[in-house]
Structure 1
């Protein structure tokens, strides 16, 4: 692998001119699973972040870690968009399952993402929790937490607009639906750890993101009830918003490593993370191969 350092201040604003697909993972195990298929890899260090360019399954790509959580994900995605010619964004990673009909190992490709932990922490009154009269929430609360839809800005309009959901690209979703019909996900990892049910690819529905690791049954039930969410994570909603603001097609593949507190015992992520990360990476590589 070639490696060279590009000081941030010396990089042109347009970045590298060759169109590429940005393939993003949240943290190292997911990233390692993806890099197995990368050819002609070159690494650039930009503002402390590693960006690896090369060819994967016939596509020119740039791979990088978003970093865990919303702020990291937004920062690194915007940095990539400013330094490379990005024609689409594909996120690969693990997540917590919210929909009771889904199982660990399933790969969810949500049609839209919302940032559900952008909240008002309400005042407790004699009649329960209440938010200030000039504020509103479109969703039922969880105790003192009321989800708020904030104003977002893009070149689409002169003034900010209120928007909670950020949609995945319809054409990319259709590619994912076609792939899901005949792609078999492995149920075991290399160490012989196996899932109790054969995993599936689920395309469509809602995902939600927020700056919290969730291992709480009550919050999981609330997210399913109020947002009709199938999956929750800590990055995809931020990347979806950045993609929307920059008018770049976006899609996220999230494989369930745990049930976000909905299981009978302790959190399952430590046991099934390798299967989930491998399943997500495998689907993303097959997905890339289907693109024109």
Structure 2
């Protein structure tokens, strides 16, 4: 049973390819796919690229071409909920496109012809992802240099479960973030891909789960915080998280 590990940007998968045994490389649909074995599990790594359309394309290829039976999205996001701070981890329980608006034909946020705005994460896969995230959060000091831990307060990271919202816009203004919080008060984090992948997986009946590490607060400082967190933290966090998750999955 092949597990696909999906991220938007190369930094979010830094070091993952080196973990694969018997690696193979396929280029398809303008994307690079790296398959192999990791902790005894067949794995394929791919970059979705940025945005909902690109992410949906990549997810479809993973299912159709590579036979992915489950998809896990890992990467960074902006924190929205007041309880979520930089360095925390959010495991998605549901996913919504915050910029979907076909009103007045359909209610705001509802995906036309689906009769829903929210796509639920696979409960079993998300539970394992949550367990893995909690396991590595207790050992954050071991994954990073002391200066990085201090800079991003990783020693005090918390793990949350809740709604992740996606849209084709990098939210980097306090006013925009506040508007999202008013409109979707239970939203924990905002990014640009997961809700689209969740919709594709819903169509195919493929289990989907996503985890996002909070790189910024989606406010006026996001353009500064995001690149620093991406380059110094994201890849190591993803590697530790996936290494913790894979042994928990059912044997292939």
Structure 1, gaps ≥5 residues long: 1-18, 121-130, 138-146, 152-159
Task: Give the match for residue 135 of structure 1.
Answer: 105
Q: SS in structure 2 opposite 1:119?
A: coil
Establish whether residue 33 from structure 1 lines up as the match of residue 3 from structure 2: no
Q: 1:102 to 1:148 in 2, by over 3 A?
A: closer
- Aligned partners of 2:20, 2:32: CA distance in 1, in Å? 15
Q: 1:198 to 1:65 in 2, by over 3 A?
A: same
Task: Give the match for residue 55 of structure 2.
Answer: 73
| TM-score normalised by length of structure 2 | 0.88
Q: Deviations over 1:123-153 (max 9, x none)?
A: xxxxxxxx7xx4353xxxxxxxxx43122xx
Task: Give the match for residue 183 of structure 2.
Answer: 226
The Cα shift of 1:271 comes to 2.1
Task: Give the match for residue 161 of structure 1.
Answer: 114
The Cα shift of 1:203 comes to 4.1
Q: 1:80 to 1:176 in 2, by over 3 A?
A: closer
RMSD of equivalent CA atoms: 2.2
How many residue pairs end up in the alignment? 244
Structure 2, gaps ≥5 residues long: none
Q: 1:135 to 1:102 in 2, by over 3 A?
A: same
Structure whose alpha-carbon radius of gyration is higher: 1
**Pairing 1:1-292 to 2, within 5 Å after superposition:** 19-119=1-101, 134-137=104-107, 147-151=108-112, 160-183=113-136, 184-186=138-140, 189-190=144-145, 192-193=147-148, 194-196=151-153, 198-227=155-184, 228-261=186-219, 267-273=224-230, 274-292=232-250
The Cα shift of 1:56 comes to 1.5
Q: 1:201 to 1:93 in 2, by over 3 A?
A: same
- Aligned partners of 2:206, 2:61: CA distance in 1, in Å? 14
- Aligned partners of 2:220, 2:239: CA distance in 1, in Å? 25
The Cα shift of 1:31 comes to 2.0
Q: 1:111 to 1:94 in 2, by over 3 A?
A: same
Q: 1:52 to 1:182 in 2, by over 3 A?
A: closer
| TM-score normalised by length of structure 1 | 0.76
- Aligned partners of 1:197, 1:86: CA distance in 2, in Å? 32
Q: SS in structure 2 opposite 1:50?
A: strand
The Cα shift of 1:281 comes to 3.3
The Cα shift of 1:177 comes to 3.4
Q: SS in structure 1 opposite 2:50?
A: coil
Q: 1:171 to 1:75 in 2, by over 3 A?
A: same
Q: 1:185 to 1:113 in 2, by over 3 A?
A: farther
- Aligned partners of 1:277, 1:224: CA distance in 2, in Å? 28
- Structure with more of its chain in helix, by fraction: 2
Q: Is the 8 A contact 1:206 1:230 kept in 2?
A: yes
